[in-house]
Structure 1
Amino acid sequence: MKIGIRAHDFGCLPPVRLAEKMAAQGVEAAQLAIPKAIAGVESYAQVTDGLLREIGAAFREHHIDIAVLGCYIEPSLPDEAARKAQLDTFRLGLRCAAELGAGCVGTETTLFSGPEQERPAAYDILRRSVDAMLNDAAKLGVTVAVEPVAAHTLNSPALAARLLQEFRGGGLAAIFDAVNLLTPARIETQAALWDEALAAFGPDIAAVHVKDAVVKDGALAPALLGEGVMCYDNIMRWLAQHKPGVALLREEIAPETAARDLAVMRAWAGR
Structure 2
Amino acid sequence: MSVGVLAHLFGRMPYKELAHTVGLHGFKHVQLALWKAIDDVDFSEAGRLSPGLARNIAEEFHKNDVSISILGCYVHLFDRNEEKRRRNVARFKELIVYARCFGATTVAAETGKLPLNDFSKQDRAALRASLEELIEEAEKWGIFIGLEPANDHLIGTAPALKQMLDEVPSSHLGVVLDPGNLITLENIHHQDQVIEEAFTLLGKRVVGAHAKDRMLMEDGAIQTVTPGKGQLNYLLFLTLLHQYKPQCDIILEATKPEQMKETKVYVERLQQQVREAGMLKN
| TM-score greater than 0.5 by the shorter chain | yes
Please give the per-residue CA displacement for 1:96-140, whole angstroms capped at 9, x wherever unaligned. Answer: 313212131111111145677x54432222111100111122222
> What is the number of residues matched between the two proteins?
270
Name the SS of the counterpart of 1:185 in structure 2: coil
Counterpart of 2:110 (choices 108, 112, 125) is 108
Could you list the structure 1 runs, at least 4 aligned residues long, displaced by more than 6 angstroms after superposition: none
Q: Which stretch shifts more, 218-227 or 235-244?
A: 218-227
Give the equivalent residue in structure 1 for 2:8.
Answer: 8
Q: Are 1:146 and 2:147 counterparts? A: yes
| Aligned CA distance change for structure 1 residues 79 and 224 (closer, same or farther; 3 Å) | closer
Aligned to 1:80: 82
| 1:33 aligned partner, one-letter code | A
Which sits farther off after the overlay, 19-28 or 152-161?
A: 19-28
The answer to whether the 8 Å contact 1:7/1:37 transfers is: yes
* Identity across the alignment (%): 27
The 3 A distance-change label for structure 1 pair 235 and 245 is: same
* Larger displacement relative to structure 2 (18-27 or 213-222): 213-222
Does residue 1:135 correspond to 2:136, yes or no?
yes
Measure, in 2, the Cα distance between the counterparts of 1:137 and 1:214.
37
Q: Distance in 2 between matches of 1:90 and 1:132?
A: 10
Structure 2 stretches of 5 or more lacking a match?
A: 274-282
AA in 1 matched with 2:34: I
Check 1:218–1:113 CA distance in 2 against 1; reply closer, same or farther (3 A cut). Answer: farther
Q: CA deviation at 1:21?
A: 2.1
SS in 2 for 1:269: helix
Contact 1:66 1:103 in 2 (8 A): no
Q: Secondary structure at the match of 1:13?
A: coil
Match of 1:23 in 2: 23
Q: What amino acid maps onto 1:214 in structure 2? A: M
Contact 1:109 / 1:147 at 8 angstroms: preserved in 2?
Answer: yes
Map 1:151-190 to 2 at 5 A: 151-190=152-191
- Taking a change above 3 Å as real, the CA distance of residues 219 and 123 of structure 1, as seen in their structure-2 partners, is farther
- Aligned-residue RMSD, C-alpha: 2.1
2:228 to 212, 218, 226: 226
Q: Deviations along 1:202-233, whole A, 9 cap, x unmatched?
A: 11111111011323565432323212121112
CA contact (8 A) 1:119 1:153 kept: no
What's the offset of the Cα at 1:234?
Answer: 1.4
- Once residues 106 and 256 of structure 2 are traced to their aligned partners in structure 1, the CA distance between those partners, rounded to angstroms, is 25
Deviations 1:233-255 (A, max 9, x none): 21111112221111110012211
Q: Give the aligned partner of residue 246 of structure 2.
A: 244
Higher RCO, Cα 8 Å, sep 6+: 1
Q: TM-score, normalised by structure 1?
A: 0.91
The alpha-carbon deviation at position 151 of structure 1 amounts to 0.6
Q: Which residue number in structure 2 is paired with residue 58 of structure 1?
A: 60
Choose 223-232 or 130-139, whichever is displaced more.
Answer: 223-232
Q: For 1:185-264, what aligned pairs fall within 5 Å after superposition?
A: 185-216=186-217, 218-264=220-266
After TM superposition, give the deviation of residue 49 of structure 1 in Å: 3.6
| Distance in 1 of aligned mates of 2:39 and 2:113 | 28
Q: Which moved more, 1:184-193 or 1:17-26?
A: 17-26
- 1:173, 1:206 within 8 Å by CA — same for their partners in 2? yes
The superposition leaves residues 148-199 of structure 1 with CA deviations (integer Å, 9 ceiling, x where unpaired) of 1121111211111121223333410111111111111111100000001111
The one-letter code sitting in structure 2 at the alignment partner of 1:42 is D
**Contact (CA 8 Å) 1:15, 1:54: kept in 2 or not?**
no
- Matches of 1:5 and 1:72, distance apart in 2: 16
Counterpart secondary structure, 1:270 = helix
Alpha-carbon contact 1:41-1:47 (below 8 Å) kept: no
SS of equivalent to 2:30: strand
